[in-house]
Structure 1
Amino acid sequence: MEYTKTYVTKDEHIDVQQIMDGLYYPFYMEDCRHAFIKDVLGFDFVEEAEKGVYMVLSQYSIKFLRSLKKGDEFTVTCAVFGDAGGQPRLHFKQSIMLNNKVMTSAVFTGTCVPATGGRPYLPEGLKAKLEGIPTLEV
Structure 2
Amino acid sequence: MEYIKKYTAKEEHINLQGNIDGLYVPYYLADCRQSFIHDVLKFDIEEEARNGIDMVLSKYNIDIFRTLKGGSKFSVSCTVSIDRNTPTLLYFKQAVTLRGKLTTRGLFSWTCRPTNGGRSFLPPSLSKQLDRLY
Q: Shorter-chain TM-score category?
A: over 0.9
Q: Note the C-alpha offset of 1:87.
A: 3.4
**Deviations for 1:52-87, whole angstroms, at most 9, x for unmatched residues?**
110010010000000100000101000001103133
2:57 maps to amino acid: L
Tell me the residue number matched to 1:98.
98
Tell me the residue number matched to 2:69.
69
Distance 1:36 1:76 in 2: 11
Tell me the residue number matched to 1:131.
131
Tell me the residue number matched to 1:57.
57
Q: How does 1:102-113 map to 2 (within 5 A)?
A: 102-113=102-113
Secondary structure at the residue paired with 1:131? helix
Q: Note the C-alpha offset of 1:133.
A: 5.7
Distance 1:44 1:131 in 2: 17
Which segments of 5 or more consecutive residues in structure 2 lack a partner in the other structure? none
Q: How does 1:7-46 map to 2 (within 5 A)?
A: 7-46=7-46
**Deviations for 1:75-110, whole angstroms, at most 9, x for unmatched residues?**
100000110313301000000110000110000110
**Deviations for 1:105-129, whole angstroms, at most 9, x for unmatched residues?**
0001100000011111100111111
Secondary structure at the residue paired with 2:81? strand
Runs of 4+ aligned structure 1 residues displaced above 6 Å come to none
Distance 2:65 2:132 in 1: 31
Q: What is the TM-score with the length of structure 2 in the denominator? A: 0.96
1:15 maps to amino acid: N
Which segments of 5 or more consecutive residues in structure 1 lack a partner in the other structure? none
8 Å CA contact retained: 1:82, 1:133: no
Q: What is the TM-score with the length of structure 1 in the denominator? A: 0.93
Identity %: 47
1:91 maps to amino acid: Y
Distance 1:72 1:132 in 2: 35
Secondary structure at the residue paired with 1:56? strand
Name the Cα RMSD after superposition: 1.2
Q: Note the C-alpha offset of 1:31.
A: 0.5
8 Å CA contact retained: 1:79, 1:93: yes
Q: Give the total of aligned pairs.
A: 134
Q: How does 1:77-92 map to 2 (within 5 A)?
A: 77-92=77-92
Tell me the residue number matched to 1:114.
114
